[in-house]
Amino acid sequence: MLYQDDFTNPSTGWEAVTFDNYFIGYHEPEWYHIEIRSANSKAVVSEPERRSVADATIELQVFTNSAKTATEGDFRYGLVFRRSGDQYYAFTISPRTKKWEVLKSSPNGLEILQEGVEESIHDLDVDDLLRVDAQGSNFLFHINDRLVGQVTDSDYTSGEVGLYAQSFDSPTTHIHFNTFTIRDLTLSLMCSINEGGTVNVRSGPSKTYPQIAVLSSGDTVKALGKSPNQWIQIVVEGSNEPGWVSYSEGYMSCTPSVDLFPIVSP
């Protein structure tokens, strides 16, 4: 754990400001909030220490307060990372459209790097968990523990992390930020056996090692990493020792892509 704030203590120093169309600050008893009181506006708030973060896992619990949000209109909110002024990436959701977006901000404006629809995004007043795994130029995006996107972009290598809110045609948008966490990069690696496939699990990363198990079509396993010769180390159910499977035979699909797996030794 590099940093965590549940926003129950205002002395942790997040920005607290009020303008004509913004209200940003702590909200007792246990939230930090951004309220935007006009359409077509946005707010970006950096973590108080403004530390520069490169490779990390960043998580945010967040929801919309329906009692203080207009019943009509759309908006989006989430987290920012690798920020330097107007340059940053953002991962946002909209509970009304169930849409998520990966944004890239520059002095020229906002660009959508990837977008999609995720039905697990909750309705107003219910927390969603957003997660970004940033590793070099590769970024993985999760909503409620489900991997939804993967983006590669090398322009911003490190920077501040923080919070994001933007209104479109909603005249009042009120977002409650619940818990914000920065920790050492932790990738969730999963592999599944494709339809019609069978894969032998061996005790080491080559066919010279003895077979210890067999995976069949539909099986899903947790991966630990890969060897330089494209064997994947996996958790074997019922065993204290990991196993190895060959990825080169094409019977497996993994998330994230195998090129993002860390190198591990036998």
What confidence tier does 106 reach under pLDDT thresholds 50, 70, 90?
Answer: very high
Q: Using the predicted structure, report yes or no on whether residue 266 has a pLDDT greater than 80.
A: no
CATH for 190-260, options being 2.60.40.2550, 3.90.1150.10, 2.30.30.40, 1.10.630.10:
2.30.30.40
3-183 is classed CATH 2.60.120.560: yes
Q: Using the predicted structure, report yes or no on whether residue 247 has a pLDDT greater than 90.
A: no
pTM, entire model: 0.83
Three-state secondary-structure class, residue 11:
helix
pLDDT tens-digit readout, 149-204 = 889 899 999 999 999 999 999 999 999 999 999 999 988 889 999 988 889 999 99
If you compute the radius of gyration of the chain from its CA atoms, what whole number of angstroms results? Answer: 21
Q: Which ranges of the chain would DSSP assign to H, the alpha helix?
A: none
pLDDT tens-digit readout, 191-246 = 999 988 889 999 999 999 999 999 999 899 999 989 988 899 999 988 888 999 99
Q: CA–CA separation, 89 vs 132, rounded Å?
A: 10
- CATH 2.60.120.560 in the chain is located at 3-183
pLDDT at 71: 96
